[in-house]
Structure formats: C-alpha cells, structure tokens
C-alpha cells in the first residue's frame, strides 16, 4: 500500500512538471508602474493598488519619479492615493488598464500641479 501511494505521488509530480514546464523554468518578467511627481510639492504616503496588491512609496520629492515592479494574475486597473505635508486630505485617482497577457508594459502616472493624473503605457522591450 505504501509503495502504491509513493508511485501515485511520483506520477502526479511528474505530470504536473510536464504540464507546467515552461512556467517553472522560464519566469515571466514584471510590469512597472512609474510615478512622476510634477506637482511642485513633495508627495507622501503614495499607495498604488493593482490586482489586489498594494505598492508603496513613502516620499517622492517634486520633479522626481519612482519605479515599482509588479505582476498581475488578472486584467486590472490602478487606484492611486497620495498626500502632501502642507495640505490635509487624501488625493485619489482611478484608471488605466493592465492586461494579464504576455505583453509587459511600463505604466507611467504623472501627477501635475492641479492634482490631475496623466496616464500612459509603453511596451517594455525584452532584455
């Protein structure tokens, strides 16, 4: 009986390895979200939510950008939240589109002086 269970476990492991061989050996790259601060103020407590994940950047000085890599399991959109030291309240933006597909992208979120977010996406080149 023990031999039968052992053979069954080996067979299941072999089948799984055969079916998922490309995924096991060839890791998929990551998408990137780039947050650009063009507000004239220092952004703080920046949170980007995408496909159930929360990506965090605590401080982003004016005129600078931050790049955060991420993976998605489903098609998703972004939710961006941020604050300023000198202004009370949380600023929020929702939008963009991240496809699950094999194409990797760089998603650029530029926050301007009116607290509007300009979104654009670029395909990432294979490296």
Sign, Cα dihedral of 93, 94, 97, 100: positive
What the chain holds in terms of domains, given with CATH numbers, is 29-123 (2.60.40.2890)
Sign, Cα dihedral of 86, 87, 88, 89: negative
Tokens found for residue 9? 């476990």
Nearest Cα residue to 80 out of 104, 114, 56: 56
CB proximity list for 17: less than 8 A, separation 6 or greater: 24
pLDDT digit string, tens, across residues 50-99: 999 999 999 999 999 999 999 998 999 999 999 998 778 899 999 999 99
pLDDT digit string, tens, across residues 97-117: 999 878 899 999 999 999 999
As a whole number of angstroms, the distance between CA 1 and CA 126 comes to 50
The structure's pTM equals 0.76
């Amino acid at each position: 009986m023990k031999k039968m269970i052992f053979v069954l476990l080996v067979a299941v492991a072999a089948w799984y390895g055969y079916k998922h061989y490309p995924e096991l050996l060839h890791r998929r790259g990551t998408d990137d979200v780039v947050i650009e601060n063009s507000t004239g103020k220092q952004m703080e407590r920046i949170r980007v939510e995408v496909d159930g994940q929360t990506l965090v950047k605590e401080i982003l000085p004016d005129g600078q950008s931050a790049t955060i890599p991420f993976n998605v399991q489903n098609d998703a959109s972004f939710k961006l939240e941020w604050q300023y030291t000198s202004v009370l309240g949380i600023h929020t933006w929702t939008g963009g589109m991240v496809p699950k597909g094999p194409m990797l992208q760089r998603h650029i979120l530029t926050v301007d002086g009116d607290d509007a977010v300009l979104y654009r996406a670029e395909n990432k080149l294979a490296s």
